[in-house]
Structure 1
């Protein structure tokens, strides 16, 4: 119960105050960005529906205008551009019935099922957790590309509250893994290490208290697949720890207090002749159910 209380106090301290609809004047930084993006994305979703109502955006328009009025409190101007484009699109739609292609581009311009089933299955099933790494350094351009691809993971209202910290200095990696039990036996040979977190300031109210873990997990899985697709090996390292250990990790890795740790991911070039755990899969009868159970 004490651990839950610490979690609750941290969430209450940093999450968006009182919901994103009324109190934009009290928000700064990521809170302001995320609360505004929530309304912008609602409009984008509305324009992607088979039939968009008209007029549209009765709630979003005043909310975005209030967010823009407090734009000086933002960390960057990204949400400002986003909000202005959405407001322009709403005006164009409501007055002229013309849909702005920037806000809801047509999906037929994108590839549909570009991988045949066999290629797709081979790619996904060939990803294994790798704990035996070559000692070559990993090109940071590959790391950057993997994280860029991972940002296409879905997130609530496109707020993208996930964060990735990458360490490739030996002393840094050793200092971090020193307090991680699950990397014993191979931690000293890890050439690159991610810490994946989620920014509490991107979420609001008690309804979203667990959303950061969901978004952070989706981001982590996409990151693992991106690393695999770029020819790198990786292993997710569980971080199910008490708050004292997480505070220690925050200090050692210089992580901000307003972020929670999802997991660590060790990454690098696989060593020649590496082996992986068999990791048998449960039968589909235990995983999947179609419709309602039979009487």
Structure 2
């Protein structure tokens, strides 16, 4: 529930295919907008996924009257009284609200993007599918991205830090206040997987935030992606099988077959690799 705040749709329209329906408050951007501002992307893949904070800077530059900005991704769903939430955050003087990721930072895929820039004790990762930023924190992060962009272009900065590390690290290094999202909301079902169906959102408890919440097509693809062994679909009592079978077979059979084919190819390649190794070992023993 949003009372005294404003809700905007902010969309990447680089492809020209994303249009905000007429009558809805929104703002579209193109990746070239950030290049013109002097911001680097740092990667060759999807720059907006790697630098999710760029949309925040773009919006705050156009709408600078707010004390706080809430970054809320499309696949997040919550039963939240935002007025009460923001009152609590303002009372605490928080500059950034997010959820610190558990586990070992050095096992994260983007660990190497940070180690040359930050000291080991400062390294951290934060889930920001919903992130809440004070105005001064947005300004700080924007300035730091511009400064790092200069270093990246000059070659003095070799690696580009992923947003989920850059944001909390820079916030804390500047002495701004970071607060855990769990201090304010129920986050027990707020993670990368398993996915939840949009049609199941009656499960939401009061003051709860859930992620990811997807339509049927994305739900199926997410379930298959995070199940590394799709053959488990055929095991009785398999949780993976139950997730798919609740839907019509025609909706998941093709992506499931593709996943099974990829899995079989991986297994065959692995077996051939072992066979070659055994053959080489045997040959060496003969000498």
Does TM-score exceed 0.5, indicating one fold? no
Q: RCO greater where, 1 or 2, for CA within 8 Å and sep 6 or more?
A: 1
